[in-house]
Amino acid sequence: MNKKVVLITGTNSGFGWLTANAVATLGHKVYAAMRDTDGKNADKAKALAQVENITVLNVTLTDDASVKDAIDTIIAAEGTIDVLVNNAGVTMFGVAESSTPADVQRVFDVNFIAPWRLMKLALPFMRKQSEGLIINVSSGWGRFAAPFSAVYGASKFALEGLSEGLHYELRPLGVDVAIIQPGAFPTEMSQKVQLGSDTSVLDGYKVIAEFPDKMFSAIGQMFETAKPDPQDVADAVVNLINLPKGQRPLRTVVDPSTGEFIKTANDAVRVEYAKVLTAFGMKDLLA
Protein backbone atom coordinates (compact mmCIF):
# COMPACT_ATOMS: atom_id res chain seq x y z
CA MET A 1 0.00 0.00 0.00
CA ASN A 2 1.28 3.45 -0.92
CA LYS A 3 1.15 5.90 1.93
CA LYS A 4 -1.15 8.79 1.13
CA VAL A 5 -1.30 12.30 2.53
CA VAL A 6 -4.85 12.82 3.74
CA LEU A 7 -6.48 16.04 4.95
CA ILE A 8 -9.70 15.58 6.94
CA THR A 9 -11.86 18.42 8.27
CA GLY A 10 -14.16 18.45 11.30
CA THR A 11 -12.04 15.96 13.22
CA ASN A 12 -12.90 17.13 16.74
CA SER A 13 -15.85 14.71 16.93
CA GLY A 14 -18.18 12.32 15.13
CA PHE A 15 -17.40 11.11 11.64
CA GLY A 16 -14.25 13.21 11.38
CA TRP A 17 -12.74 11.87 14.59
CA LEU A 18 -13.46 8.27 13.63
CA THR A 19 -12.25 8.77 10.07
CA ALA A 20 -8.95 10.32 11.15
CA ASN A 21 -8.25 7.36 13.41
CA ALA A 22 -9.32 4.78 10.84
CA VAL A 23 -7.21 6.26 8.05
CA ALA A 24 -4.16 6.73 10.29
CA THR A 25 -4.39 3.11 11.40
CA LEU A 26 -3.83 2.09 7.78
CA GLY A 27 -0.50 3.91 7.80
CA HIS A 28 -1.53 6.98 5.84
CA LYS A 29 -0.33 10.41 6.96
CA VAL A 30 -3.37 12.25 8.31
CA TYR A 31 -3.69 15.98 8.79
CA ALA A 32 -6.66 16.46 11.09
CA ALA A 33 -8.22 19.90 10.81
CA MET A 34 -10.31 21.39 13.58
CA ARG A 35 -10.88 24.86 14.94
CA ASP A 36 -10.05 26.34 18.32
CA THR A 37 -7.37 23.80 19.22
CA ASP A 38 -6.17 26.07 22.03
CA GLY A 39 -9.70 26.60 23.38
CA LYS A 40 -12.78 24.40 23.51
CA ASN A 41 -11.20 21.69 21.35
CA ALA A 42 -7.88 21.64 23.18
CA ASP A 43 -8.45 18.25 24.79
CA LYS A 44 -9.64 16.73 21.51
CA ALA A 45 -6.65 18.14 19.66
CA LYS A 46 -4.22 16.83 22.25
CA ALA A 47 -5.73 13.34 22.20
CA LEU A 48 -5.77 13.12 18.42
CA ALA A 49 -2.22 14.45 18.11
CA GLN A 50 -1.00 11.53 20.22
CA VAL A 51 -2.22 9.03 17.62
CA GLU A 52 0.50 7.72 15.32
CA ASN A 53 0.42 9.23 11.82
CA ILE A 54 -1.85 12.15 12.81
CA THR A 55 -0.91 15.83 12.85
CA VAL A 56 -3.57 18.24 14.11
CA LEU A 57 -4.02 21.58 12.36
CA ASN A 58 -5.87 24.54 13.83
CA VAL A 59 -8.03 25.70 10.93
CA THR A 60 -10.97 28.06 10.61
CA LEU A 61 -12.59 26.77 7.45
CA THR A 62 -14.47 29.99 6.77
CA ASP A 63 -11.26 32.05 6.70
CA ASP A 64 -9.21 32.18 3.48
CA ALA A 65 -5.90 32.87 5.22
CA SER A 66 -6.37 30.12 7.80
CA VAL A 67 -7.16 27.51 5.15
CA LYS A 68 -4.25 28.61 2.95
CA ASP A 69 -1.89 28.40 5.92
CA ALA A 70 -3.04 24.83 6.52
CA ILE A 71 -2.51 23.81 2.91
CA ASP A 72 0.90 25.52 2.85
CA THR A 73 1.89 23.63 6.00
CA ILE A 74 0.98 20.30 4.44
CA ILE A 75 2.73 21.05 1.15
CA ALA A 76 5.87 22.22 2.95
CA ALA A 77 6.01 18.95 4.89
CA GLU A 78 4.74 16.45 2.30
CA GLY A 79 4.99 18.08 -1.10
CA THR A 80 1.39 17.25 -2.03
CA ILE A 81 -2.10 16.26 -0.89
CA ASP A 82 -3.44 12.92 -2.09
CA VAL A 83 -6.84 12.81 -0.40
CA LEU A 84 -9.14 15.58 0.84
CA VAL A 85 -12.10 14.63 3.02
CA ASN A 86 -14.53 17.52 3.45
CA ASN A 87 -16.38 16.30 6.51
CA ALA A 88 -16.98 19.41 8.63
CA GLY A 89 -20.56 20.65 8.66
CA VAL A 90 -23.24 22.46 10.61
CA THR A 91 -26.97 21.85 10.89
CA MET A 92 -29.97 24.16 10.74
CA PHE A 93 -33.35 23.00 12.00
CA GLY A 94 -36.81 24.53 12.13
CA VAL A 95 -39.28 26.04 9.71
CA ALA A 96 -37.38 27.52 6.81
CA GLU A 97 -38.95 30.96 7.18
CA SER A 98 -37.34 31.34 10.60
CA SER A 99 -33.89 31.38 8.97
CA THR A 100 -32.53 34.84 8.31
CA PRO A 101 -30.18 35.59 5.40
CA ALA A 102 -27.36 35.61 7.96
CA ASP A 103 -28.41 32.16 9.18
CA VAL A 104 -28.42 30.81 5.63
CA GLN A 105 -25.05 32.41 4.90
CA ARG A 106 -23.54 30.81 8.00
CA VAL A 107 -24.71 27.33 6.97
CA PHE A 108 -23.55 27.71 3.36
CA ASP A 109 -20.20 29.16 4.49
CA VAL A 110 -19.38 25.92 6.32
CA ASN A 111 -21.25 23.30 4.28
CA PHE A 112 -20.55 24.56 0.78
CA ILE A 113 -18.09 27.43 0.44
CA ALA A 114 -15.53 25.97 2.86
CA PRO A 115 -15.29 22.64 0.98
CA TRP A 116 -14.82 24.54 -2.27
CA ARG A 117 -12.15 26.72 -0.68
CA LEU A 118 -10.20 23.57 0.19
CA MET A 119 -10.81 21.86 -3.14
CA LYS A 120 -9.65 24.95 -5.03
CA LEU A 121 -6.34 24.91 -3.15
CA ALA A 122 -5.77 21.14 -3.27
CA LEU A 123 -6.64 20.53 -6.91
CA PRO A 124 -3.48 22.01 -8.50
CA PHE A 125 -1.35 19.47 -6.63
CA MET A 126 -3.67 16.58 -7.48
CA ARG A 127 -3.78 17.54 -11.16
CA LYS A 128 0.00 17.90 -11.29
CA GLN A 129 0.49 14.30 -10.18
CA SER A 130 -2.55 13.02 -12.14
CA GLU A 131 -3.73 11.40 -8.95
CA GLY A 132 -6.05 12.49 -6.19
CA LEU A 133 -9.27 11.84 -4.34
CA ILE A 134 -11.79 14.31 -2.97
CA ILE A 135 -14.50 12.92 -0.68
CA ASN A 136 -17.33 15.27 0.21
CA VAL A 137 -19.52 14.18 3.10
CA SER A 138 -23.04 15.20 2.21
CA SER A 139 -26.27 13.70 3.58
CA GLY A 140 -29.33 11.82 2.51
CA TRP A 141 -30.90 15.27 2.69
CA GLY A 142 -28.51 16.28 -0.05
CA ARG A 143 -30.71 14.26 -2.38
CA PHE A 144 -34.14 15.01 -0.87
CA ALA A 145 -34.77 17.86 1.55
CA ALA A 146 -36.80 17.10 4.67
CA PRO A 147 -39.33 19.42 6.29
CA PHE A 148 -37.67 21.51 8.99
CA SER A 149 -34.25 20.90 7.44
CA ALA A 150 -34.72 22.85 4.21
CA VAL A 151 -31.78 25.23 4.68
CA TYR A 152 -29.44 22.42 5.72
CA GLY A 153 -30.67 20.34 2.80
CA ALA A 154 -30.14 23.23 0.40
CA SER A 155 -26.50 23.54 1.47
CA LYS A 156 -25.97 19.82 0.87
CA PHE A 157 -27.80 20.04 -2.48
CA ALA A 158 -25.24 22.68 -3.43
CA LEU A 159 -22.33 20.51 -2.32
CA GLU A 160 -23.70 17.56 -4.27
CA GLY A 161 -24.20 19.65 -7.38
CA LEU A 162 -20.63 20.89 -7.29
CA SER A 163 -19.30 17.42 -6.56
CA GLU A 164 -21.27 15.80 -9.38
CA GLY A 165 -19.99 18.24 -11.98
CA LEU A 166 -16.42 17.91 -10.72
CA HIS A 167 -16.66 14.12 -10.73
CA TYR A 168 -16.87 14.14 -14.53
CA GLU A 169 -14.58 17.13 -15.16
CA LEU A 170 -11.71 15.78 -13.10
CA ARG A 171 -11.80 12.04 -13.75
CA PRO A 172 -10.01 12.37 -17.13
CA LEU A 173 -7.24 14.21 -15.24
CA GLY A 174 -6.73 11.36 -12.79
CA VAL A 175 -8.65 12.93 -9.90
CA ASP A 176 -11.70 11.23 -8.39
CA VAL A 177 -14.51 13.10 -6.66
CA ALA A 178 -16.90 11.08 -4.51
CA ILE A 179 -19.86 11.85 -2.28
CA ILE A 180 -20.80 10.04 0.92
CA GLN A 181 -24.46 10.34 1.94
CA PRO A 182 -24.89 9.44 5.62
CA GLY A 183 -28.30 9.06 7.16
CA ALA A 184 -29.11 9.91 10.77
CA PHE A 185 -26.42 8.88 13.25
CA PRO A 186 -25.99 9.55 16.98
CA THR A 187 -23.06 11.96 16.71
CA GLU A 188 -22.26 15.23 18.45
CA MET A 189 -23.35 17.11 15.33
CA SER A 190 -26.88 15.73 15.70
CA GLN A 191 -26.91 17.09 19.24
CA LYS A 192 -25.83 20.61 18.20
CA VAL A 193 -28.85 21.72 16.24
CA GLN A 194 -28.96 25.37 15.23
CA LEU A 195 -32.34 27.09 14.99
CA GLY A 196 -33.44 29.96 12.79
CA SER A 197 -33.01 33.38 14.38
CA ASP A 198 -36.33 34.89 13.31
CA THR A 199 -38.66 33.56 15.99
CA SER A 200 -41.30 36.16 15.09
CA VAL A 201 -42.69 33.87 12.36
CA LEU A 202 -43.26 30.83 14.58
CA ASP A 203 -46.78 31.76 15.66
CA GLY A 204 -47.81 31.39 12.05
CA TYR A 205 -46.74 27.73 12.07
CA LYS A 206 -48.68 26.55 15.14
CA VAL A 207 -50.69 24.15 12.99
CA ILE A 208 -47.55 22.04 12.40
CA ALA A 209 -45.72 22.87 15.64
CA GLU A 210 -45.93 19.27 16.86
CA PHE A 211 -44.10 17.76 13.90
CA PRO A 212 -40.53 18.63 14.86
CA ASP A 213 -40.96 16.73 18.14
CA LYS A 214 -42.49 13.83 16.22
CA MET A 215 -39.46 13.80 13.94
CA PHE A 216 -36.96 13.73 16.79
CA SER A 217 -38.98 11.00 18.51
CA ALA A 218 -38.99 8.89 15.35
CA ILE A 219 -35.25 9.37 14.88
CA GLY A 220 -34.69 8.32 18.49
CA GLN A 221 -36.70 5.17 17.88
CA MET A 222 -34.64 4.44 14.75
CA PHE A 223 -31.47 4.77 16.79
CA GLU A 224 -32.83 2.18 19.23
CA THR A 225 -33.96 -0.21 16.50
CA ALA A 226 -31.29 0.06 13.80
CA LYS A 227 -28.46 1.11 16.13
CA PRO A 228 -26.59 3.01 13.40
CA ASP A 229 -22.84 3.05 14.02
CA PRO A 230 -20.95 6.23 12.99
CA GLN A 231 -17.91 4.04 12.35
CA ASP A 232 -19.69 2.90 9.18
CA VAL A 233 -19.10 6.34 7.68
CA ALA A 234 -15.40 6.22 8.52
CA ASP A 235 -15.24 2.75 6.98
CA ALA A 236 -16.90 4.10 3.81
CA VAL A 237 -14.14 6.71 3.54
CA VAL A 238 -11.49 4.01 3.95
CA ASN A 239 -13.18 1.91 1.27
CA LEU A 240 -13.12 4.80 -1.21
CA ILE A 241 -9.45 5.44 -0.51
CA ASN A 242 -8.67 1.75 -1.09
CA LEU A 243 -10.54 1.48 -4.39
CA PRO A 244 -8.50 1.88 -7.59
CA LYS A 245 -8.44 5.25 -9.31
CA GLY A 246 -11.32 5.67 -11.71
CA GLN A 247 -13.41 2.94 -10.07
CA ARG A 248 -14.80 4.96 -7.18
CA PRO A 249 -18.57 5.50 -7.33
CA LEU A 250 -19.91 9.05 -7.38
CA ARG A 251 -22.26 8.42 -4.45
CA THR A 252 -22.06 6.06 -1.48
CA VAL A 253 -25.07 5.82 0.84
CA VAL A 254 -24.39 4.98 4.49
CA ASP A 255 -27.79 4.71 6.13
CA PRO A 256 -29.10 1.48 7.70
CA SER A 257 -32.46 3.05 8.53
CA THR A 258 -33.81 4.80 5.42
CA GLY A 259 -30.95 4.45 2.95
CA GLU A 260 -32.78 2.32 0.39
CA PHE A 261 -34.86 5.38 -0.50
CA ILE A 262 -31.71 7.32 -1.38
CA LYS A 263 -30.02 4.39 -3.14
CA THR A 264 -33.04 3.90 -5.39
CA ALA A 265 -33.00 7.55 -6.38
CA ASN A 266 -29.24 7.49 -7.02
CA ASP A 267 -29.51 4.42 -9.24
CA ALA A 268 -32.36 5.87 -11.29
CA VAL A 269 -30.65 9.22 -11.76
CA ARG A 270 -27.34 7.59 -12.77
CA VAL A 271 -29.01 5.80 -15.67
CA GLU A 272 -30.81 8.89 -16.97
CA TYR A 273 -27.83 11.14 -16.33
CA ALA A 274 -25.72 9.00 -18.63
CA LYS A 275 -28.28 9.49 -21.37
CA VAL A 276 -28.16 13.27 -20.92
CA LEU A 277 -24.35 13.44 -21.07
CA THR A 278 -24.45 11.30 -24.19
CA ALA A 279 -27.07 13.54 -25.78
CA PHE A 280 -24.89 16.58 -25.04
CA GLY A 281 -21.81 15.07 -26.69
CA MET A 282 -20.05 14.11 -23.45
CA LYS A 283 -20.32 10.34 -23.56
CA ASP A 284 -16.55 9.97 -23.24
CA LEU A 285 -16.70 11.50 -19.74
CA LEU A 286 -18.70 8.47 -18.59
CA ALA A 287 -15.84 6.05 -19.32
Q: Is residue 202's pLDDT more than 80?
A: yes
* pLDDT at site 199: 94
Per-residue pLDDT tens for 128-157? 999 999 999 999 999 999 999 999 999 999
pTM: 0.94
Mean pLDDT throughout 166-177?
A: 97
Confidence at residue 233, expressed as pLDDT on a 0 to 100 scale: 96
Q: Is 273 a catalytic residue?
A: no
pLDDT in the model for residue 190: 54
pLDDT in tens, 242-267: 999 999 999 999 998 888 999 999 99
Q: Please name the residues in contact with 4: beta carbons below 8 A apart, sequence gap of 6 or more.
A: 28, 29, 82, 83, 241
281 φ/ψ angles, rounded to the nearest 5 degrees: 75, 20
Query: What angle is formed at CA 256 by the lines to CA 93 and CA 110, rounded to 5 degrees?
Result: 35
Q: What are the tens digits of pLDDT across the range 67-84? A: 999 999 999 999 999 999
Domains defined along the chain, listed by start = 5-258 (3.40.50.720)
